Structure 1
Amino acid sequence: MSLEVRLRSGPGSTRSRLRIPLHERLFGWNGPAFVAAVALRERVGDHKNFFSFVSNSTRKEMMGKSARSVATVATPGGVGRRLRLLRAAPAERLHLILMLALTFSTGLVDAIGYLGLDRVFTGNMTGNVVVLGMAITGGGHLPVIGPLLALLGFIAGAALAGWGLRGTAPGWLPRTTAFLTLAALLVLTAGVALVCIDGYVTAPTKIFFTTILGSAMGLQAVSARHIAVRDVTTVVVTSTITAFAAILIRGTRRGGSLMDRRLAAVVLILVGAAIGAALLQWQLGAGLILAGTILAVVATVGAWHAGASTSAY
C-alpha cells in the first residue's frame, strides 16, 4: 500500500505525482516530506531557493541520509528504477536473500559430489567426516581418499578466506567478493571440464574435482560467516534445524522471521540437492555450472550493493 502525494512547484506549473510507501516515516530528514521535496526539485529544476533555509552542514547531512530514499521515490520506472530499488534495499535483507541462494547452490554441489563423484560431500563436511569414519573401518565399501582430500580442500579454502578476512569487521567487503568470485570460478571450471570429458571420468579425475569443489565450498563458508547472516551458514543445516525446532516448540517474540529464514534454508538445500540429482541424469557438470553461475551472481550483486551503499553516504 502506498500514499500518493501531488506536488506543485508554483502558480501555473504542472503537478508531480509521487507514490510513497505508508510504512516510511512521515517526518525527519529521511521521511517522505523531505524526499518529496527533493524529488520535486529534481523535476522542476528549482535549485535556487530549495535549500535557502538551511546551513551548508545541515544540507550535507540531509542529502547524505536521504540519498537512497530519493533514488527509490524520484526515479522513473524501468530498469533504472529497479536497480535503484535494489540499491536502496536494506543490507541485512539483501544479504539474507543472497546467502539463501548460496544454500541452494550448496545442495546442487553436494548432490553432484555424492552421486556423481564417488559418494563424497564437498560442502557438508559433517556428512563427509562421517563417511570418512565409516570408510576407514571398511564399512559399505566407502571411499577413503576422496572424502579425505575433499576435507583437506575445504580446510585449505576456509583457511585462505579466513586469513584474508582476519582483522576486518563483519559485512560485505571487497575481499569477500574476491573469495566468492574465486569459489565461483572453481565451481564453473569444474562444471565445464566435466561436461567436456563426460564419459571419460576416471577415479583420479573424480578425486581431483572433489578436492577443487571442497576448496570452493570452504571459501564460500568462511565468506558467508564473515557476512554474518544469522542462522544461514550456506553449507550446513543441522544447527538451523535444531534452532528451528527449538523456536517451534518454545516460541519467541521474533520467532516468526527467524523461523522463516531457517525453514527457507532447509527447503532450499533440499530443493538444490533434488535439482542437482535430476541434472546429473542429463549431464555430470550441468549442476556445477548452475551452482557456479549462482555464486557469480551472488558475488556481483553483493559487491554492487555494497559499493552503491557506500557511495550513497
Structure 2
Amino acid sequence: MTSSTPGKHGPRHALAHSDRLPVALTALTVVTGLVDAISYLGLGHVFTANMTGNVVIIAFAAAGAPGFSLLASLVSLAAFLGGAVVAGRLELTMRQYPRRRHRWVCICVAVEAVLLLAAAAVAFAAPHQARYPLIVLTAVAMGIRNGTVRKLAIPDMTTTVLTLTVTGLAFDSSLAGGTNPRAARRITAVLAMLAGALSGAWLVLHHGLGLPLLISAVSAAATALVLLRIPAAECNHRNCTPHAPS
C-alpha cells in the first residue's frame, strides 16, 4: 500500500513508486542554478531567480556599492512579482476545471519554458543590447515557477531557495540528535543547484548567454512533458494538486 503523502519515506521511496514530481522538481532546481549563473554573471550582478539575493543587492546598490545596478535589481523584482501573480491567476483559472486541475503545474512549467526560449532567442539575436529584456523574461519565468512550487508546498523541494534546506540538514542530523529525515532529498536539492550553477557559469564564461538560456528552456520543456504524462489519478494521489503553502 502506497503512502498518500509524497516523499514520506524519502526520495528513494518516491522514485521506487514512479513518483515523477520530485524528479521534475529536482530538474527545475538545476534550471534555477543555470538562471542564477546567467543573471548574475551575464546580466550585471542581478538575480532573477533568487529574490533573497536580489533584495540584498538592491540594498548594496542603494548604498552606492560599485558594480551593482539599482534599476536592474528593481526591474528584476517587479518582473518576478508579476510572474508570481500570473501563476496565481493560472491556478485560480484551473479551479474551474476540476478534472484538469492537476495539469496546472504542467502549464506553468510550460509557460516558463516558453519565456526562457524567448530569452534565448533575444540573447542570440542581440547579445549586447538584451540586458533588460533578458532580466524581465527570466524573472517572470522564475516568478511563475516560484508561485507554482510554493502552492505545491512539498517539503525541501522549493527549487530556488536552499537556506532552510541546508539548515534542515544540520538541525535534523544525527550530530544534533535528529533522525536525518529527507536527508537524501535535501542533499539532492543542494547538488542539483550546484550542478546547475556550475554548468551555467561555465557556459556563460565560454559561450555567452544564448546557449545556457536555450539549455534552460529545453530542460524546462522536458520537465513539462514529464509532468504532462503523469496520470490524473497518480497526480491527485501524490500531491500534484495545489495545497496550502506551509
Higher mean displacement: 121-130 or 241-250: 241-250
Cα shift at 1:230 = 1.3
Matching residue of 1:228:
153
3-state secondary structure, aligned to 2:207: coil
Matching residue of 1:291:
216
Give CA deviations for 1:102-157 in whole Å, capped at 9, x if unaligned.
Answer: 00100001100010111111100000000011101111241011111111111011
The runs of 5 or more residues in structure 2 that have no matched partner are 3-14, 237-246
Higher strand fraction: Structure 1 or Structure 2? 1
For residue 112 of structure 1, what is the amino acid of its counterpart? I
| C-alpha distance in structure 1 between counterparts of 2:68 and 2:53, whole Å | 13
For residue 121 of structure 2, what is the amino acid of its counterpart? V
- Compared with structure 1, are the counterparts of its residues 310 and 118 closer, same or farther at alpha carbon in structure 2 (3 Å cutoff)? closer
Matching residue of 2:192:
268
| C-alpha distance in structure 2 between counterparts of 1:89 and 1:261, whole Å | 14
1:117 equivalent to 2:46? Answer: no
For residue 189 of structure 1, what is the amino acid of its counterpart? A
| C-alpha distance in structure 2 between counterparts of 1:189 and 1:251, whole Å | 49
For residue 169 of structure 2, what is the amino acid of its counterpart? F
In our comparison, the structure showing a higher alpha carbon Rg is: 1
| C-alpha distance in structure 2 between counterparts of 1:117 and 1:269, whole Å | 19
Size of the alignment, in residue pairs?
218
Give CA deviations for 1:13-44 in whole Å, capped at 9, x if unaligned.
Answer: xxxxxxxxxxxx8xxxx9xxxxxxxxxxxxxx
Percent identity for Structure 1 against Structure 2: 32
Contact 1:95/1:229 (<8 A) preserved = no
Cα shift at 1:303 = 1.6
- Compared with structure 1, are the counterparts of its residues 208 and 310 closer, same or farther at alpha carbon in structure 2 (3 Å cutoff)? closer
| C-alpha distance in structure 2 between counterparts of 1:239 and 1:310, whole Å | 26
Cα shift at 1:304 = 1.1
3-state secondary structure, aligned to 1:305: coil
Q: Give matches, 1:15-164, under 5 Å.
A: 90=17, 93-164=19-90
3-state secondary structure, aligned to 2:231: helix
1:183 equivalent to 2:109? Answer: no
Contact 1:173/1:303 (<8 A) preserved = no
Give CA deviations for 1:223-266 in whole Å, capped at 9, x if unaligned.
Answer: 2223332111011111111111111233544x25x111111111
| C-alpha distance in structure 2 between counterparts of 1:156 and 1:115, whole Å | 23
Cα shift at 1:292 = 1.0
| C-alpha distance in structure 1 between counterparts of 2:233 and 2:209, whole Å | 38
Contact 1:103/1:269 (<8 A) preserved = yes
The runs of 5 or more residues in structure 1 that have no matched partner are 1-24, 31-87
Cα shift at 1:282 = 1.4
Contact 1:100/1:234 (<8 A) preserved = yes
Contact 1:276/1:287 (<8 A) preserved = yes
Task: Name the TM-score, length of structure 2 as normaliser.
Answer: 0.81
Cα shift at 1:302 = 0.8
Cα shift at 1:89 = 6.4
Task: Name the TM-score, length of structure 1 as normaliser.
Answer: 0.64
Contact 1:161/1:223 (<8 A) preserved = yes
Contact 1:104/1:269 (<8 A) preserved = yes
- Compared with structure 1, are the counterparts of its residues 310 and 231 closer, same or farther at alpha carbon in structure 2 (3 Å cutoff)? closer
| C-alpha distance in structure 2 between counterparts of 1:294 and 1:216, whole Å | 13
3-state secondary structure, aligned to 2:160: coil
- Compared with structure 1, are the counterparts of its residues 195 and 308 closer, same or farther at alpha carbon in structure 2 (3 Å cutoff)? farther
Matching residue of 1:213:
138
| C-alpha distance in structure 1 between counterparts of 2:83 and 2:158, whole Å | 15
